[in-house]
Amino acid sequence: MTLPASSSMLPGGISRRSFLRAAAASSALAGLPFVTEAHLAHAAIPKFAPSDQGIHIDANENPMGPSEGARKAIAAIIPNGGRYLFDKEISFSEIFAKQQGLDPEMVVAYPGSSEPLHLTVLAFASSTRPLVVADPSYEAPIWAAQAAGAPILKVPLADPKGAATHDIPAMLAASSTPGVLYICNPNNPTGTTTPFEQIEKAIDSVPKGSVVLVDEAYIHFSDAPSCIPLVKQGKNVLVLRTFSKLYGMAGIRMGFIVGRPDLLQKVTPLGGQNPLPITAVAAAKASLLDPELVPTRKKIMDGLREENIAFLRSHGYAVTPSVSNCFMLNVRKPGKQVQAALAAREIYVGRVWPAWPDAVRVTVGTKDEMAAFQNAFVQVMQTNTAGLEPAPLHPRLRQTPFSHLS
């Protein structure tokens, strides 16, 4: 498309300069690594197993998949697949904004929350503005900070054998000029929450030019209060939401970033101008409009998770007090060995975090999957796992910038 040289505004009120700046920024960033839970989970499993083989409780996915309503909505929209349907994309974000009591310009939809997560780190972290993260926590912001050339300050979780919360005072003390303070609530991989007052304190305390990024990917599984009301109060916080977890849409892709328009304007020009898949918009809208979905699935997850945690504790193993769809299990020996031994039985549990080398992350799967896991775990713990090591990466992952994850 050639633009009329005389016009400084594009349709939609976007200025030519900001359009070109955004395009330049997007292409400059195109080669940067973009690491998601799926990449990290695949890179960590000892054998790159086909998804239809064995039991995959390694990537915090939801085996229930999209709701019945979401499936019907996808089927119904397919005949319109030749169109972009921007109006549906806009009204979908407006529904979420209305439900949350937000102005529509405080909500931007993306195909999943990974993209706005990365873009936020790229927008606010730099060589002079570090990323501050808990340890262990979700690693994606670390990879983005590396791409941005920003220092990474890892702060151990407080009370690691108990509540395993973010240590907010220590995170605030880690840097006087942070770019991004990342808080994952509930935390991946521990499934534990950090008290709202503590998060609010972090938001109120970070200096100008810094932002607190609260990742609420797993919030629907818990009773933890959301930080979205703090956005409404005009605070210095960006909140991430995804449809990949409770809503079971990891493969369909939909998510939101929520924040003050002036903060979002630093993030959105860096990427995300692609139209959203209309199937994902339709499915996510149907999910939002189903009032039973969150409470029903939360209850199912509560039951499965508590049964598994009780089983493991009754066998003498320490487990984090998760309120999410995953937990950390202390196996009292190198976690990678246990992971490899389980993989040999085609049970794929999650990765090991260097800060807690004797623990593996377990995603809560279906009742049958968890019965198979329990059975295999008890057997594996009676065998000698010494020397077991993850097998080499799948060739596709070897070609990526994060191949050294193995």
* Binding-site ranges for ligand PLP (CB under 6 A): 36-37, 60, 112-114, 117, 138, 184, 188, 215, 217, 242, 244, 250, 255
Least Cβ distance, residue 42 to ligand PLP (angstroms): 12
- Going by the DSSP 8-state scheme, the letter that residue 104 receives in this structure is G
User: How far apart are the C-alpha atoms of 336 and 384, rounded to whole Å?
Assistant: 13
Q: Angle between the 335-344 and 367-381 helix axes, to the nearest 10 degrees?
A: 120
* Residue type (1 letter), 358: D
User: How far apart are the C-alpha atoms of 183 and 163, rounded to whole Å?
Assistant: 15
Q: What are the distances in angstroms from CA 129 to CA 63, 138, 185, 286?
A: 39, 20, 23, 40
Least Cβ distance, residue 192 to ligand PLP (angstroms): 13
User: How far apart are the C-alpha atoms of 248 and 372, rounded to whole Å?
Assistant: 22
* Residue type (1 letter), 20: L
Residue 107 and residue 96 in contact, taking contact as beta carbons nearer than 8 Å: yes
Nearer to ligand PLP, 270 or 341 (CB): 270
- Going by the DSSP 8-state scheme, the letter that residue 2 receives in this structure is P
Nearer to ligand PLP, 138 or 143 (CB): 138
CA 10 to chain centre: 34
Least Cβ distance, residue 253 to ligand PLP (angstroms): 7
Least Cβ distance, residue 184 to ligand PLP (angstroms): 5
User: How far apart are the C-alpha atoms of 151 and 172, rounded to whole Å?
Assistant: 15
Nearer to ligand PLP, 124 or 138 (CB): 138
Least Cβ distance, residue 53 to ligand PLP (angstroms): 21
In terms of DSSP bridges, do strands 9-10 and 14-15 run parallel, antiparallel, or are they unpaired?
Answer: antiparallel
Least Cβ distance, residue 69 to ligand PLP (angstroms): 20
The Cβ of residue 164 has, within 10 Å, a number of other Cβ atoms equal to 26
Nearer to ligand PLP, 140 or 150 (CB): 140
- List, in order, residues 6 or more apart from 208 with CB less than 8 Å away: none
Q: What are the distances in angstroms from CA 123 to CA 202, 210, 269, 310?
A: 19, 10, 9, 43
Least Cβ distance, residue 110 to ligand PLP (angstroms): 8
Nearer to ligand PLP, 282 or 388 (CB): 282
Nearer to ligand PLP, 139 or 167 (CB): 139
Nearer to ligand PLP, 297 or 385 (CB): 297
Least Cβ distance, residue 217 to ligand PLP (angstroms): 4
Nearer to ligand PLP, 325 or 385 (CB): 325
